[in-house]
Amino acid sequence: MNASIYEQVPSLDLADFDSKDAHRKQRFVEALGDAYTQIGFVAIKNHYLSDKDSNELYRLMKEFFALPDNIKQKYEIKGLSGQRGYIGKGKEHAKGRNTGDLKEFYHIGQEVTDGDPIRSEYPENIWPDELPELKTYGLTVYRQLEQTGVRMLKAIALYLGLDENYFDGKVRNGNSILRPIHYYPIEKPEEVPSDAVRAAEHGDINLITLLMGASADGLQVHRNDGKWIPITALPDQLVVNVGDMMERLTNRRLKSTVHRVVNPPREKMNTPRYSIPFFMHPRSEMSLAGLENCISAENPKQWPDITAGAFLEQRLREIGLKK
């Protein structure tokens, strides 16, 4: 990736938001709002994800995806709609498509430890016997990204004219998902469907997505000015974008960032790509009804009211994970 590409990605320092200097904090909020309304995504440094834990999780997931298919399939549990454990090759497709994406992935979900009754809504996490360290590093990275996401949501709340803590209770023990993805090598490109891609154009379901640095190029983001640009998170940064739930809540004031993962050149189709996004979800009961201060005569209400849980159910069917 060349420098000119990175110049198009607004880079913000989360330490500014955490500062006791009110002006630094306000500048962060304004810059974040500008990025989300004009471009749709932002790179964040001084987040809470540790390089060591990130690297260890990547190492472990590469080992998992290298296991034989019959071993991995032990951790693909019917009836979970792909919400925990392994999800096999080609099982998910973008909304509005039928051709499966050229990827396999693993889901790590919320672990409720404080007696919150919402625990009954979540299936247990699934941990492969072959990689006992995965539980430690998977949950550690989950917590670090969740902590970063809470801070980002505080800044978004202030930008929207809400109380800084507006999202806190709504995402406490929320249904967030950590998803290590393997875009597997294609040895015989001629044998896959002609329209198959690593990840077709889509918006994420959730409030915000936090993306750790990927192992290779391929991610392209559709900027709000209509241009597709390539982007890869720098090693010390997270790319954070708006998802469909936030778009709905803000009545399109903040637009969901449409993105895709394109296939490499044909001669490189036999090379893998790894990526680990964190999808920040609220609790199922959160209302996604448009905020009053985001509805006006110029921007009338776009959608009927729905809860986050009902919206997730709807989208899981649309992308093929729930029948």
- State how far the Cα of 238 lies from the Cα of 157, in Å rounded to an integer: 20
- State how far the Cα of 266 lies from the Cα of 200, in Å rounded to an integer: 17
Position 8 scores a pLDDT of 65
1 band by pLDDT with thresholds 50, 70 and 90: very low
In a domain, 180, yes or no: yes
Query: What is the domain extent for residue 273?
Result: 3-318
| Residue 200 predicted with pLDDT over 90 | no
| Residue 57 predicted with pLDDT over 50 | yes
In a domain, 49, yes or no: yes
Q: For the residues 107-121, what does the mean pLDDT come to?
A: 97
- State how far the Cα of 181 lies from the Cα of 274, in Å rounded to an integer: 6
User: Considering its fold, how many domains does the chain have in total?
Assistant: 1
In a domain, 122, yes or no: yes
Position 260 scores a pLDDT of 87
Q: For the residues 53-68, what does the mean pLDDT come to?
A: 96
6 band by pLDDT with thresholds 50, 70 and 90: very low
Q: pLDDT tens digits for 269-290?
A: 788 889 999 999 999 999 999 9
**Beta-strand pair 11-13/41-45:** parallel
Q: pLDDT tens digits for 83-97?
A: 999 999 878 776 777
In a domain, 23, yes or no: yes
Position 214 scores a pLDDT of 66
| Residue 4 predicted with pLDDT over 50 | no
Is the CB of residue 230 less than 8 Å from the CB of residue 193? no
Q: pLDDT tens digits for 22-48?
A: 999 999 999 999 999 877 789 999 999
Beta bridge partners of 302: none
Position 166 scores a pLDDT of 98
215 band by pLDDT with thresholds 50, 70 and 90: low
Rounded mean pLDDT of the chain?
Answer: 89
In a domain, 89, yes or no: yes
Is the CB of residue 167 less than 8 Å from the CB of residue 146? no
Higher-pLDDT residue of 259, 214: 259
- Of 48-52, 116-120, 196-200, 299-303, the range with the lowest mean pLDDT is 196-200
| Residue 81 predicted with pLDDT over 90 | no
- 179: domain CATH number is 2.60.120.330
Considering only the C-alpha atoms of the chain, give the largest distance between any 2 of them, rounded to a whole number of Å: 58
Taking each helix axis from N to C end, the angle separating 51-65 and 133-159, rounded to the nearest 10 degrees, works out to 120
Position 95 scores a pLDDT of 73
Nearest-CA neighbor of 158 among 8, 306, 293?
Answer: 293
Position 7 scores a pLDDT of 45
In a domain, 150, yes or no: yes
In a domain, 107, yes or no: yes
In a domain, 323, yes or no: no
